[in-house]
Structure 1
Amino acid sequence: MSVFDDPRDHPGRVAALLQATSGWQRLLKLTPDLDDETVAALVAESAKIANQIVAPLNVAADTDGCRFEQGRVITPDGYSEAYGAIAEAGVLGMEIAPDHGGQGLPIALQAACGPFFEGACPAFMMLAGASRAAAHLLLSVADEETRSTWVPKLVAGEWGATICISEPDAGSDVGRIRTRAERVDGTWQITGQKIWISFGDHHVTERIGHCLLARTGGGVGTRGLSLFLVPNLRDDGAQNGVSVSRIEEKLGLHGSPTCALSFENAHGILLGEEGRGLPQLFAMIEQMRLLTACQGLGVAARAADVAFAYAADRRQGGAPNETPVAISTHTDVRRQLLAIDARVEILRAAILELAVSMDLARRESDEAADEHAAFVAWMLPMAKTFGAETGFDVASAAIQVLGGAGYTKEWPVEQALRDTRVLAIYEGTSGIQAIDFLMRRLWRDRGRGLVAFLARAKREIEATRDLDLSSADTAERVIGHFERLSAEMLALEDSPRQAEAGALAYMRAGWCAVSAMMALRLIRTDPLAPIGRFRLHALEAEIALYASEAALPLDLVDPA
């Protein structure tokens, strides 16, 4: 069976790729109640729930959107019922410990199943994503009373959560945050404004907890920031000084209300240590970056399904005296479909590799855990960035396959394009991720994550040699090129402005190297081998281009 005849069995692909993921068998051993048969059933059931409960919301989410009436946000019909249904199915707490209401499954299973939901209705799932990330944050830094009160409610879908960082004059530059928290009569009171808050207000859940950065004491910059949980309602049900100023009119994600919030002496709960807000927040940001990658994958996979189905059904060309042929028989269309499928499956394989390492970093001990943690830190900026780009680029490529039909609202791929454009912006823009990848992961960490990757890549190459020597050699050249480029970028540590000019190109070269490793994995995974070979074919030229861009002379971008 060729990939063009493949019935688009995404659960089957997930199960096959998990089997091939390094560390997966070790993770199964560390999770005694889990086996491959159970995993396959969970993945298949997740796809079914996403299609039956979440996907029907997507059209209304886009066309009806959200409304701001009398100071409150009104979401599309069906949101509350659907949110309760996915909560009851365990979707909101899949990887949360059972003593806090979850299923206690590995993060890897959330990463395997989550894209089905994200692709079904990405706007609706913005609430679920923020609430899951908040649960991780509270488990990491909140006191026992707050954890035991809030996390089970978030998992049950009764309460929701947001992440409140940005302000009108403080976006990525969080050191300029002005929102203040003052201790009054033994309680913290927060006053200020926050913007770009997804699901900052709604009626889907009974209560909303805002995970918020505010300034305490006399510290300046990020050192003066503390982390708080600020409920929209107090324990007695009274309003807590949180109000909505407006909701944004956006290009896409119309079914996700993006709110500007005002806090006026709102009572908050200090999370963790005062003045340590930003480093503590990374427990949530790590989850949000993985989520962004899963959002991109979910939408890309859905768009790919539409492109393949349309190409099989749409008939154009062939002999004029015969029945027109399906456009999927034309070589150029087949090339486009292969390129789409390759982007999707490379990303899926990379996300699974990352998520398994996130699990093992928590479950292994000592040196093994350190290796996984270094790899996770190194991979997250790329997963976030190229998960976002894959979602948008595949949606665009699907429009091209559909031609004029794809540009119309009759087909869902134009919505996918609009919905995914923001993924490369929130949770840290691509440029910010690139600077993190260069300055923290290469310079500050002395390339520990890079070393971990190279060791994994070498094992993947050796495992493929007997099966496909040519592909193994190609991947080895691509990854070797990136290793040499990394040495060059490391030598620029004393020239940070020069290095910054090439940071994004350097990270793109890193994704080429990761893609080469994942292409080998696809080659060893039926029926994905043709996709892996197709993607690998172009990577040598791509990494050479990015290596050249990484060496861009500073005076071209900074002539002053």
Structure 2
Amino acid sequence: MSDYQHPYRDAEFVIRELVEFDQLCTDAGMEDINSELASVIMTEAGKLGSEVLGPLNRVGDAQGAQLTDKGVEQTPGFSEAYQQFAEGGWQSLTPSEEFGGQNLPNVLGTAVSEVWQSSNLAFALCPLLTQGAIEAIAHHASDELKQTWLPNMISGRWTGSMNLTEPDAGSDLAAVKTRAVPEGDHYLITGQKIFITWGDHQMTDNIVHLVLARLPDAPPGVKGISLFIVPKFILDENGNPAERNDAHCVSLEHKLGIHGSPTCVMSFGDNGGATGYLVGEPHNGLSCMFTMMNDARQNVGLQGLGIAERSYQQAVQYAKDRIQGTNRDGSRYPIIKFPDVRRMLMQMKAGVEAMRALAYIASSEIDRSRFADDSEASRQHFARVELYTPIVKGWMTELAQEITYLGVQIHGGMGFIEETGAAQHYRDARILTIYEGTTGIQALDLVGRKTLSNQGQVLAELLADIQETQTELSQHAELSEQAEALKSALDTAQQARQWLLENAEDKTAPGSVSVHFMMLMGYLCGGWVMARSALKAQSLLEKSEGDPEFLQSKLITARFYSEHLLPRVYSHLATIKAGSHSVMALDEEQF
């Protein structure tokens, strides 16, 4: 067993009450899917997470992947755990039934994925990358490629990886140099990719790499990038892995955290060219990749939630066990009785619950955009997905840094000692604000593509929804203080939106204030979903439904959020209004 336990009560509350899962499934024509089934699935996932994946988390940190003559050897125990994962059908939850998937709602897949991210973040990156590869192939590949590759990926027999970044092309994909030359019915790929998560291992008999490369006639910049399937093993006439492809891991990165996840430098074509197959139209690779970008970025936000939940669970247990205070009669008591430790635990708890609610709600909008009755409703839901994505990815991963820091702090000096495990969560969380687009990139996306490009209309619609919740909140005397706090925070967001629209002509202003704008919106959305949680909890208590202890805890946690975390919007607004002058004033040589 591990110290991780699935927070099923809160996850179930969010699925049932905030996402309104039963209604979502009815609207999608999935009458046989409901919240009771979702609860069973999450419970079973929790068992695998706590009993199998959780105990391997420390093992992966201490005994990370190694590069050998046979390729990358994964952490001991990971291969056996992966076989249980695959045999349980967990990779197939949300993909299409046409290729062996179960076609369950995306939000249920998100709730289950939280278990994997919490129990073993390094391990969970493997199926997470596979899911991204499945999405890209399913949306853009030819029918022949889909039939060839998807069934074994969806079953978990094969895994996938995403190969974008190069030594001279980090976030700037316009600088990609990897080449693809036509060769009969396929292409020969040559080039090098870095930071390739789970780019090699021995857990499955094939790995399906998705690789960005340029054709000989490619125009310069991002408009000249194409996407290719490059398998580790080329398939024989029966569709089975046979000949080793010219694609190899040549080194492993030595990282701050997630040691159990091999981060590879991949070399393609050292011996003449790696066989690859074009996905979609030539020169349209970036569009293919962006198809799965919302899912991928929301999933990284979910990783922030997962590691924060794991850190919180450990901090709670330590605070209950650590005896340090002394009464006048000489008896001693645990540090959880200290007000400042309570403050830190409440910050962790409130942050985690707000993150979970926002992550699930954002994920459910992907379902609603897919299953909407008409094109206009689908467009509106997808616009909300687009708006949520940088907030989920940016704000949640930044908040995870604070929560895992508090986990170390609660342990005191023991938090700095690796054997307690608190430091691992802190280290593992650090990458989350960087990959799949840094915090700055998420913030620029929110300000530019998601706000200024539509004159703030999509954001205005979200703020109108928050206003509806605030109005409903104000009608309950028990929640009046939270209603006032949300009203004030909403006014702050309105001011931030207006300032951004009015100052957009200053070319340096959006970039200078974008992170503060994103964090303001994150804390506001957190306050909104916690307010909705409070309304649901209050209603259930009044009807004598549900677990009263849990519901009272939810009310207290929502109130704490409104008193201690929601006020952060004011400092972010003050910084936004300061603009870009002092940010850009120094000459480069003065740094």
**Fold equivalence (TM over 0.5):** yes
Gaps of 5+ in 2: 237-241, 538-550
- 1:106-127: CA deviations, max 9, x gaps? 1100111211111111111111
- Do the aligned partners of 2:163 and 2:212 also contact (CA within 8 Å) in 1? yes
Could you tell me which of 368, 375, 380 is aligned with 1:366?
375
Instruction: Give the AA of the match of 2:440.
Output: G
> Which is worse superposed, 205-214 or 518-527?
518-527
Say if 2:447 is the partner of 1:438. Answer: yes
Instruction: Give the AA of the match of 1:390.
Output: L
Say if 2:298 is the partner of 1:287. Answer: no
- 1:394-430: CA deviations, max 9, x gaps? 1110111111122212212110111110010000000
- Do the aligned partners of 2:180 and 2:213 also contact (CA within 8 Å) in 1? yes
SS at match of 1:426: coil
- Equivalent-residue separation in structure 2 for 1:135 and 1:521 (angstroms): 34
- Residue 218 (structure 1) aligns with: 218
SS at match of 2:233: coil
SS at match of 1:211: strand
TM-fit CA distance, 1:553: 4.0
- Residue 4 (structure 1) aligns with: none
1:197-216 matches, cutoff 5 A: 197-216=196-215
- Residue 88 (structure 1) aligns with: 87
Say if 2:18 is the partner of 1:21. Answer: yes
- Residue 535 (structure 1) aligns with: 561
Say if 2:412 is the partner of 1:403. Answer: yes
- Equivalent-residue separation in structure 1 for 2:396 and 2:120 (angstroms): 17
TM-fit CA distance, 1:25: 4.3
SS at match of 1:427: coil
- Do the aligned partners of 1:501 and 1:552 also contact (CA within 8 Å) in 2? no
TM-fit CA distance, 1:540: 5.4
- Residue 261 (structure 1) aligns with: 266
Shift of the 189–8 alpha-carbon distance from structure 1 to 2, 3 Å rule, reads closer
- Equivalent-residue separation in structure 2 for 1:8 and 1:477 (angstroms): 37
- Equivalent-residue separation in structure 2 for 1:555 and 1:149 (angstroms): 56
- Equivalent-residue separation in structure 1 for 2:130 and 2:158 (angstroms): 8
- Residue 324 (structure 2) aligns with: 316
Say if 2:401 is the partner of 1:392. Answer: yes
Shift of the 259–540 alpha-carbon distance from structure 1 to 2, 3 Å rule, reads closer
SS at match of 1:316: strand
- Residue 140 (structure 1) aligns with: 139
Q: Among all aligned residue pairs of Structure 1 and Structure 2, give the percentage whose two residues are the same amino acid.
A: 29
Instruction: Give the AA of the match of 1:351.
Output: A
- Equivalent-residue separation in structure 2 for 1:497 and 1:252 (angstroms): 34
- Do the aligned partners of 2:5 and 2:46 also contact (CA within 8 Å) in 1? no
SS at match of 1:295: helix
Instruction: Give the AA of the match of 2:275.
Output: H
Shift of the 22–463 alpha-carbon distance from structure 1 to 2, 3 Å rule, reads farther
Instruction: Give the AA of the match of 1:501.
Output: S
Instruction: Give the AA of the match of 1:245.
Output: V
Shift of the 555–71 alpha-carbon distance from structure 1 to 2, 3 Å rule, reads farther
1:286-305 matches, cutoff 5 A: 286-305=294-313
Say if 2:421 is the partner of 1:422. Answer: no
1:474-513 matches, cutoff 5 A: 474-513=485-524
- Equivalent-residue separation in structure 1 for 2:172 and 2:60 (angstroms): 32
- Do the aligned partners of 2:489 and 2:567 also contact (CA within 8 Å) in 1? no
- Residue 68 (structure 2) aligns with: 69
- Residue 551 (structure 1) aligns with: 577
Instruction: Give the AA of the match of 2:356.
Output: R
- Equivalent-residue separation in structure 2 for 1:148 and 1:458 (angstroms): 47
- Residue 227 (structure 2) aligns with: 227
- Residue 31 (structure 2) aligns with: 32
- Residue 543 (structure 2) aligns with: none
TM-fit CA distance, 1:23: 5.4
> Which is worse superposed, 429-438 or 488-497?
488-497
- Do the aligned partners of 2:19 and 2:360 also contact (CA within 8 Å) in 1? no
- Residue 364 (structure 2) aligns with: 356
- 1:179-200: CA deviations, max 9, x gaps? 1112123421111110000111
- Equivalent-residue separation in structure 2 for 1:440 and 1:207 (angstroms): 38
Shift of the 223–65 alpha-carbon distance from structure 1 to 2, 3 Å rule, reads same
- Do the aligned partners of 2:362 and 2:388 also contact (CA within 8 Å) in 1? yes
TM-fit CA distance, 1:449: 2.9
TM-fit CA distance, 1:393: 1.9
- Equivalent-residue separation in structure 2 for 1:474 and 1:199 (angstroms): 45
TM-fit CA distance, 1:331: 1.5
Say if 2:374 is the partner of 1:347. Answer: no
- Do the aligned partners of 2:305 and 2:396 also contact (CA within 8 Å) in 1? yes
- Equivalent-residue separation in structure 2 for 1:501 and 1:552 (angstroms): 10
- Do the aligned partners of 2:5 and 2:50 also contact (CA within 8 Å) in 1? no
- Do the aligned partners of 1:374 and 1:448 also contact (CA within 8 Å) in 2? no
TM-fit CA distance, 1:391: 2.7
Matched length: 554
Gaps of 5+ in 1: 1-6
Say if 2:344 is the partner of 1:336. Answer: yes
- Do the aligned partners of 1:233 and 1:240 also contact (CA within 8 Å) in 2? yes
SS at match of 1:250: coil
- Residue 243 (structure 1) aligns with: 248
TM-fit CA distance, 1:452: 3.1
TM-fit CA distance, 1:160: 0.9
- Equivalent-residue separation in structure 1 for 2:497 and 2:490 (angstroms): 11
> Which is worse superposed, 206-215 or 404-413?
404-413
- Do the aligned partners of 2:249 and 2:266 also contact (CA within 8 Å) in 1? yes
SS at match of 1:189: strand
- 1:175-228: CA deviations, max 9, x gaps? 010011121234211111100001111111111111111112230100001111
- 1:94-138: CA deviations, max 9, x gaps? 111222222211110011121111111111111110001111111
SS at match of 1:244: strand
TM-fit CA distance, 1:508: 1.0
- Do the aligned partners of 1:371 and 1:452 also contact (CA within 8 Å) in 2? no
- Residue 165 (structure 1) aligns with: 164
RMSD: 1.7
Say if 2:481 is the partner of 1:470. Answer: yes
- Equivalent-residue separation in structure 1 for 2:355 and 2:93 (angstroms): 22
1:504-523 matches, cutoff 5 A: 504-523=515-534
- Equivalent-residue separation in structure 2 for 1:9 and 1:144 (angstroms): 39
Instruction: Give the AA of the match of 2:573.
Output: A
Shift of the 448–382 alpha-carbon distance from structure 1 to 2, 3 Å rule, reads same
- 1:65-102: CA deviations, max 9, x gaps? 11111261111112221111111212112111222222
Say if 2:128 is the partner of 1:105. Answer: no
- Do the aligned partners of 2:312 and 2:403 also contact (CA within 8 Å) in 1? yes
- Do the aligned partners of 2:178 and 2:191 also contact (CA within 8 Å) in 1? yes
- Equivalent-residue separation in structure 2 for 1:22 and 1:67 (angstroms): 42
- Residue 195 (structure 1) aligns with: 194
